[in-house]
Amino acid sequence: MPVTVRLVVGSLLVLAGLALVVVAVLGARSVLRRNRWVGVRTPATLASETQFVAGNRAAAVPVGAAGAVAAVGGAFLLLDGNWVIPTISLLGTLGFTVIGGLVGNRAAELTPAPAPFAASCGGACAGCDLVEGCRRDG
C-alpha cells in the first residue's frame, strides 16, 4: 500500500478518535448542549435539553472507548504500516459507536420530559403578550 494512503487513513483515524474522545468527555461532564451535529442525536435525545444531556452522559463511556480504539488503530497504521490492527480497530470503533448510540437513546427514553412552561397567571394577564411562551394558544 502506498505510504501516502497509509498516512492519510492513519491520520484520519487518529483525528476521528480524538474527536470522539472530546465528544465523550463533553457528554460525560454534561457540557454538550443539544445540537444537530455532535452527540447522540435520536428523536428521544432531541426531544428536550434534559433528555439530550442524559443520553449523551450515558453514551460517554462507549463513545470514549470508540475514540480510543480509533486513535490507537490510526497510530498503529502510522507507525507500523500493517493494516490488520487498524482494520480491527475500525470495526471496534463502529461497534462501540453503535453501542453508545443505543445506550444514549435508551437513557433519553427513560428520562422524563420536563413539564411544559405554565404561566403563573394562567395566561390571563396582559403581560403575556410580551413574554414568549407565556401566552395561551387559542
pLDDT in tens, the chain (138 residues): 688 889 999 999 999 999 999 999 999 999 999 888 999 999 999 999 999 999 999 999 999 999 999 999 999 999 988 889 999 999 999 999 999 999 999 999 999 988 776 656 655 565 555 556 555 554
pTM: 0.79
C-alpha cell at 131: 413574554
Residue 48: Cβ-neighbour burial (10 angstroms; 0-12, 13-18, 19+): middle
